[in-house]
Amino acid sequence: MSTATPSVTGLDPEALAKDAADVLTVIPANPGAVYSRRAARLQELADDTVLTDYFGLLRLLTRAQARLAQTSDAESLFGPQPQLQLSGSTPLSPASFDWGNFWQSGLQELISELLPLVTPSVQEVLKELATTEPEQLQTWATEMLDGRFTCVPARFSLFIWAALSLYWSHWAVNVAQVQAKVGEGHHRLCPVCGAHPIASVVREQPRQGLRYLHCSLCETQWHRVRAECTCCGDNRDIHLWAETETKAPLRIESCGSCKGYTKMLFTDINPRLEVAVDDLASMVMDQQLVEEGFHPSTVNPLLLAHEEPLAGEEPLASEDQKPAANA
């Protein structure tokens, strides 16, 4: 991947704001399909990255997520359907319902699927995680959902988040379908669960050129007008950065006001792009933006090792809560 100085293109917010009229504001996920596509993209890019071994582990993990997401025995894996207040904001935010420890069943299933397939060093990590007390697992899950990733041992965070995502994405589908019918506009955090996005995706469907943010927890997508900062909402100092060409399929949108940035994947240009995988595969671009003084406003479930606060310093749990976030 080229490390040439990015080109920067200014945007016309008034022209792009027309995208907000008569659009599908929320797109429910198909969790099994999302995880399967993610696994396929990881395999496709594995030989083109210095992270070949890590991409291999991620492929095994996302394949396991895909299989479990399509289980025929949902209640034994996900527990009973939670009691949700669908009329409120972010009905699936951790603060909005009793999510209990049902997600831990998914964690144990993921570990069981991975153990015969991974290297001895990863096996040791998984065995240690499998024998961790449920109370400790619950504490770590709560820390992660509040955006405090560094409070959780780094060797466990990938697998814990994968299990949380498996649980949240399962119950998010019906919630997102209800919200899609309402048609309300949404902003920087997921309208279903309150989590940060992974990145934004410019889609060909339901209408070419619309930008959707993709949730890092429940995999829902929600519409956000282009040429408007996904973190602070400012539209006066927004720029697109690309490594080589103006119409590159992967770009970064930066905000001069809050100094946040978000990746933009133009799947209408390259439909093979996958939001989490291609965000991870393009970390060189992140480094360039950081050197320019910008900070990410997103969370990637395949790489949870953020040491600096996110732009905007919002927690994952809820837009209304503000615990100290070190996401």
Per-residue pLDDT of 69-105, as tens digits, reads: 998 888 889 999 999 988 878 999 999 999 999 999 9
- Position 327 confidence tier, pLDDT thresholds 50, 70, 90: very low
7-25+184-296 and 32-173 agree in CATH topology: yes
Phi, psi angles (nearest 5°) of residue 266: -90, 85
For residue 69, the model assigns a pLDDT of 97
Q: Calculate mean pLDDT across residues 17-39.
A: 84
Domain ranges (residues) in the chain: 7-25+184-296, 32-173
* Distance separating alpha carbons of residues 297 and 312, to the nearest angstrom: 7
- Position 111 confidence tier, pLDDT thresholds 50, 70, 90: very high
For residue 184, the model assigns a pLDDT of 67
Tell me: pLDDT of 7 over 70.
no
- Best-predicted range by mean pLDDT among 18-22, 28-32, 71-75? 28-32
Structural domain 7-25+184-296, CATH architecture: Alpha-Beta Complex (3.90)
For residue 104, the model assigns a pLDDT of 97
pLDDT tens figures, 207-264: 778 999 999 999 999 999 887 888 888 888 898 898 876 689 999 999 999 999 999 9
Q: Does 263 or 314 have the greater pLDDT score?
A: 263
Phi, psi angles (nearest 5°) of residue 288: -65, -40
Residue-wise burial string across 276-293, b where 16 or more C-beta atoms lie within 10 A, e elsewhere = bbbbbbbeebbebbeeee
* Distance separating alpha carbons of residues 267 and 252, to the nearest angstrom: 14
Q: Does 18 or 89 have the greater pLDDT score?
A: 89
Q: What is the three-class DSSP state of 271?
A: coil
- Position 123 confidence tier, pLDDT thresholds 50, 70, 90: very high
For residue 315, the model assigns a pLDDT of 39
* CA count, 13 A, side-chain hemisphere, 111: 20
32-173: which CATH topology? FdhE-like fold (3.90.1670)
- Choice among 59-63, 176-180, 273-277 with the minimum mean pLDDT: 176-180
pLDDT tens figures, 143-196: 999 999 999 999 999 999 999 999 999 999 999 999 888 766 667 899 999 999
Tell me: pLDDT of 312 over 70.
no
pTM (2 decimals)?
A: 0.87
For residue 80, the model assigns a pLDDT of 92
- Choice among 109-118, 125-134, 217-226 with the minimum mean pLDDT: 217-226
For residue 48, the model assigns a pLDDT of 87
Q: Does 95 or 16 have the greater pLDDT score?
A: 95
Tell me: pLDDT of 125 over 80.
yes
- Position 317 confidence tier, pLDDT thresholds 50, 70, 90: very low
Residue-wise burial string across 48-71, b where 16 or more C-beta atoms lie within 10 A, e elsewhere = ebebeebbbbbbbbbbbbbbbbeb
- Position 316 confidence tier, pLDDT thresholds 50, 70, 90: very low
Does a cis peptide bond (omega within 30 degrees of 0) precede residue 206? Answer: yes
